[in-house]
Amino acid sequence: MTPERWQQVKALLQSVLEQPTEDRAEFLIRAAPGDDPLRLEVESLLEFQEGNEDFIETSALEITARSVGAEAQDEMEGAQIGPFQVEREIGRGGMGAVYLAQQNDNHFQRQVAIKIIKRGMDSDEIVRRFRNERQILANLTHPNIAGLYSGGTTDGGLPFFVMEYVEGKPINEYCAAQGLSIEERLKLFRTVCSAISYAHQNLVIHRDLKPSNILVTDDGVPKLLDFGIAKLLKADDEAALTETMLRVMTPEYASPEQARGERMTTASDVYSLGIVLYELLTGQRPYRLKNRLPHEIAQIISERLPERPSTAVSRVEEVPEAASSTTTTQSTGKTGAGELAKLRRSLRGDLDNIVLMALRKDRARRYQSVEQFSEDIRRHLESLPVRARKDTFEYRASKFVQRNKLRVAAAAIIFVTLIAGVVATIREARIARDERARAERRFNDVRNLANSFIFEFDTELESLPGSTKARSLLVERAKGYLDSLAQEVSGDGLLQQELASAYIKVGDLQGRPYRFNLGQTGEALASYQKALAILEPLRHSGLPNLKLENDLATAYERIGTIQNRAGDKEASLENGRKAFEMRKALLIRDPANVSYRRQLADSYLYYGDALSNGPYVGTAIEGVRAALASQQKSLDMRLELAQEFPADAQAERDVAQAYTRVGFRLTALGANTNDKDYFRQSLECQRKALAIRVKMTVLYPDDARDRRNLGDQYMLCSEAQMANNDPVAALDGLHSSLVIFQKDAAADPSNAEARRDMSFVLDKIGIAQAQVGNRSSAEAYLREAFQIADQLNAADPANIEDLGTIMDTSSRLSELRERTGDFSGATEYLKAMADLFEKRLLVYPANTLMRYHLAETYASLGKACVKYASAPRESSTRQLQYWHEARNWYQRSLGIWEDLRNTHTLKESEADQPADLAREIAKCDIALSLRSIQK
């Protein structure tokens, strides 16, 4: 039968089945006049349907299996397959049968389950699907997924595999038998979610999630079974999803896209899990499938909206026996009207919304991952606001009360007591009106500022593109409130502590490195120092507490990162060490505190940045090795946290950041040791980080932070490729990075960090273009990087990182000009760099690092002029001029080095610089004397 003919048969059969039984024969004659073969085919199918009520929704695979099943069962029972003795059949499906067997050999004695393709079903397509399931199980190693032991082919040539035998009950029956509470069911369900999430992370969609495929052992451990129709995301060909495959599903648990035969994603498993959770909470399924015709099933699942669980739980209904299991409202453990009312109240609100969000028809509006689904359940269990409900003040307040019932009750008692005391005091002592006003003003300032402006609004704004201007307004308002409040909080330790926390938050907005900020590095440092000035005295005042210690460590850490960016490396290292030691002490005092573990991992990372400046810990390579060890420890801790909390997206982001830093240090180590293996390891780390960054942008496409991190990661991967001598491949990633940064800068012109990102990537593109021989293009990119860095430095002179970009791009532009023989243009770039350092030193005369850079720039100008003075094509007059310029630049550099030596700020590694420069000046004098004699 051709596919076209089968479509005619199927359409006519469905039409006939919609007619009353007594009218079907007459309808068939009218519907197929003159086409006896078509009519006879439909009549034969109708006869089969009378004895097989589930014929329409049963796949051709299953129909064929039924016809050969008994023979296969008799053949396999008692058979020996390798070391496995088959005992009896325990289940069957569309492709194969599952048997209980005993393994007895020199290694193991245990019961196992063996799945074998049924004889007569071993077509190429069936064998392909069977082996697909075997490959899927082989790739999945998880405590809540039935494991694969081995596989092979029977003596009769039938493929088989051996897997873990799970003795348990379907999850809905287990919950009913154990009388589990709603909370216990939710916790058990989250364990199932972790197994599905693991499968999704390994690019596998289950596609047949239902209670009978989720068994729970007597020990309460859920096990996920039956990947027979699972899909490998990276390997499956969607074109192979034929109508036969469409029928390999359980309609009661199928998603709308599955029922319609459309492409399936991880959101399809989210939908099926939503139905399982609906059943666990209510004892009902959201849909009642009556006629079970394919088009009616697809219509019901795609269009009919399910009842809210809190409503459905009151409905008592027997599910037809054709379904996978029988459930009623009694399966949720209710025993009377009072218990039913209590159950409805527990489902109303969060759980209603969580379940219905998972069951949305449009998969784009469902939870986009099982992690999100599970995370909302966790937040509900912990009385936190959930994603599935609209975030209102009343809702957040109710959640706060639920989490802190005892505290709120105590606060209410205290409040009443205080009110009574205030009334009595007013009555007896007539407290001065201005004192009451001052107390009320202070309370309102702290409440409005801390709760509304700083700690709530900015958290939402930070992830929004183009929000820098709004955050700038927030900073200005906050500074006014804080500085005003700071004058009135003396003597109130707790209020001072809140004030310090607010100053830290404002500093983050002003200029926290590597985050979206306003480019106000100096102002950020001032805010952090205000917080430090409040917290240090409080630490010694008898008010120490863990939060105070934690805030103080944060203040030291923030100051250290600012100092690192401003070029004060020694102070940065010292403050980073203080923060690091405090973080370790906090975790020792409270080892179960996950937040402290995260923050200590952060400190290992930031402390590594400070350690990388070799002269302060020994040689340069010793500094790099110390930094790598610290940041590798951060990576290890973050990987542990991500494994413990697989639904926590921020934990994954933290892992990516640590991979980035470790890769960066490996590149530096390779450059210092000339060991190419370090470059290879660096590229591997950066690619692991890139995979996470791509995943985050897919899951959270509207989060500006994730998009910025992806752009940064493209750039870092390209740097590693350039270190591996592959500039052509690096250019692809660099241009992808540039596109992201250009969009960020265009969408949010006030965002200094976005423009700084552009400057960085333009510089890297210039380097890569030079390496592949595109000098003109390289110069254009480098010049644009120079201009952006110059603008940023002019607006934020405290940020020496931009000066570093200026110095690097100037040197590279000078080298490009020198290669073309344009010596005048080459020196002009170096002179522009020197001029910028001179101007900045007028503003920051005590900045030692900037003085080092200026001395090095003067020396570079001297070396360049000596080289040009020896160029044969230059005129004697021009050569003489170059010798004079060289001596002048060397003399300027020597003056700075001698001053550094006299003030005892000269680095040990630079101790020979004054003597070296004196020798270079002497060479210039000799050259000038010779030319005078020649004249």
Instruction: Please list the active-site residues.
Output: 208
Q: Tell how strand 148-153 and strand 109-117 pair up.
A: unpaired
| Rounded distance between C-alpha atoms, residue 346 and residue 337, angstroms | 14
Cα(first)–Cα(last) distance of the chain, in Å? 107
H or E element: which one contains 711? Answer: helix 704-723
CA distances from 615 to 147, 300, 668, 671, 743 (A): 53, 72, 15, 17, 39
In 3D space, the residue among 95, 131, 101 whose CA is nearest the CA of residue 114 turns out to be: 101
Q: What is the DSSP string of 109-132?
A: EEEEEEEEEPTT---HHHHHHHHH
Q: What is the dihedral of CA 874, 875, 877, 883, to 10 degrees?
A: 30
Q: Which amino acid is at 145?
A: I
HSE (CB half, 13 Å, CA atoms) of 718? 28
In 3D space, the residue among 543, 539, 553 whose CA is nearest the CA of residue 582 turns out to be: 553
100-105, Cβ contacts within 8 angstroms, sequence gap of 24 or more: 100/165, 101/162, 103/162
Q: Is 30 exposed, middle or buried (0-12, 13-18, 19+ CB in 10 A)?
A: exposed
Q: What is the DSSP string of 184-242?
A: HHHHHHHHHHHHHHHHHHTTEE-----GGGEEEETTS-EEE---TT-EETTT--GGG--
Contact 524, 511 (CB under 8 A): yes
Structure tokens at 722: 């350039």
Contact 239, 189 (CB under 8 A): no
Give the single-character DSSP code of 448.
I
Residue 770: helix, strand or coil by DSSP?
A: helix
In 3D space, the residue among 477, 617, 573 whose CA is nearest the CA of residue 625 turns out to be: 617
H or E element: which one contains 99? Answer: strand 96-104
| Rounded distance between C-alpha atoms, residue 856 and residue 850, angstroms | 10
Give the single-character DSSP code of 181.
-
| Rounded distance between C-alpha atoms, residue 735 and residue 742, angstroms | 10
H or E element: which one contains 86? Answer: strand 84-92
Place of tokens 């209904």: 317
| Rounded distance between C-alpha atoms, residue 115 and residue 101, angstroms | 10
| Rounded distance between C-alpha atoms, residue 727 and residue 304, angstroms | 56
Contact 68, 120 (CB under 8 A): yes
Q: Which amino acid is at 543?
A: L
Contact 785, 831 (CB under 8 A): no
Distance of CA 282 to the CA centre of its chain: 34
Q: What is the DSSP string of 489-502?
A: -TT-HHHHHHHHHH
Give percent helix, percent strand, percent coil of the chain, each to the nearest 5.
70, 5, 25
Contact 272, 282 (CB under 8 A): no
Angle, CA 792 vertex, CA 786 and CA 797 arms, to 5°: 115
Contact 195, 222 (CB under 8 A): yes
